A = this chain, B = another copy of it.
Amino acid sequence: MWIETKTEVEKASRTRASFSRRVLNGLLLCSGDMEHLDKYMKDKSFVLQLVVCGLRAVARVILANNPLSGGLILAALYWASPWQGLLGTLGVLASTLTAVITGQDSAEVAGGLHGFNGMLVSLLMGEFSSAGDWYWWLLLPVFLGSATCVFLFSGLSSFLDRWDLPAAVFPFNIIIILYLLCTGPEHPYFPHHSVKPPGALEPNATELIALQVIRGIPLGVGQIFACGDLGPSLLILGAVFLYSPLLAVHALLGSAVGTLTGLSMAVRHESLYSGLSGFNGALGCMTVGGLFFTFSLWTHLFAIASAFFSAYADIALSNLMGTVGLPASSWAATLVATLMLLLTGSLAAYRIPIGQVRAPERNLRSRSQWEAGNTEERESTDV
């Protein structure tokens, strides 16, 4: 009897251990780039493939490449505002389908590369619209703007390919500026809020509330999706953590650096509280600290420098574009990240060729493997 009980206990503990191991394995399977999913998806229906590549595109906005992260983020957006969630979904679908129709590279489409700009455009169009939620006419520019992103992404990729640079969110930044310029605050069909530059003077400024500023740091991560609520922002951060803990840490760190920068330049309090000061820093920090460069102490320091530079450039550009009522969106971070990718010197040694970029943790592991390939590739482009 005793022996049996012992074995039962052993069995139970073993079951528990194997259960937690299974959970861990499951989590590991769900984290990172989930490349195993691609093989599984190959013979599935078009709609299912579209869903997966759409979710990948949603995650791509925040530099992750994982359909589950995408799902979590989409849930966060619907939680924050169902209308914004709907616009985002439409944007991803419109641009992904445009990419399919115009015959873009199918591997790129499957990787979600043609969807994330469209999503950002539609989210920001919704955010800036002053016609209120559920203004159905907005779907027209959302659809057109998202579709046009594919053209810009394809053209800019051809252009930047000479330096092995990604088109990143340049298409989104261009289209949203063109849209806002086309319409204007008092447009009869598509009115939008005017943007106040962060450096604008506040006549009766109250004292700064430290807690609100700290609250702005996670909000900075949410602001990448134009989302200003704490709960959804934390869920988005969690989605990034699922893809790569390292990336999530850099997102928070970058947002903190951005907030610090805002404080040092005495921007409007509203800008600090809402997380708008932080999101360019977050993007600048994430790009360098793990994604396009193998993680190391050196890369980490450059990531912080990149966050500072992105945040200061964002204040500058916001002040400039604010004079004509435009937002600087993520111009600063995109330009700084592009600059960082062009850098020579010690940082360049850690650079990962665009085609081989995976989750930071995986990049770290397989560095020795691709290093040889990298040297070869470098030589071949230098010919």
A residues lining the B interface (CB < 8 Å)? 99, 102-105, 148, 151-152, 154-159, 162-163, 177-179, 181-184, 186-189, 199, 201, 264-266, 305, 309, 312-313, 315-317, 319-320, 323-324, 338-340, 342-347, 383
Q: List 7 additional A-B contacts (Cβ < 8 Å) besides A156-B342, A184-B199, A186-B201.
A: A104-B344, A154-B343, A162-B162, A178-B313, A184-B319, A320-B324, A323-B324
Are A154 and B344 touching (Cβ within 8 A)? yes
The distance in angstroms between the C-alpha atoms of A103 and B151, with both chains bound, is 38
- CB-CB under 8 A from A347, the residues of chain B are 102-103
Are A163 and B154 touching (Cβ within 8 A)? no
The distance in angstroms between the C-alpha atoms of A116 and B188, with both chains bound, is 39
Are B340 and A155 touching (Cβ within 8 A)? yes
The distance in angstroms between the C-alpha atoms of A344 and B320, with both chains bound, is 34
Are A187 and B309 touching (Cβ within 8 A)? no
- CB-CB under 8 A from A156, the residues of chain B are 339, 342
- CB-CB under 8 A from A324, the residues of chain B are 320, 323
The distance in angstroms between the C-alpha atoms of A194 and B148, with both chains bound, is 32
Specify which of B201, B312, B342 is in contact with A182 (CB 8 Å cutoff). B312
The distance in angstroms between the C-alpha atoms of A183 and B313, with both chains bound, is 11
The distance in angstroms between the C-alpha atoms of A6 and B275, with both chains bound, is 91
- CB-CB under 8 A from A181, the residues of chain B are 315-317, 319-320
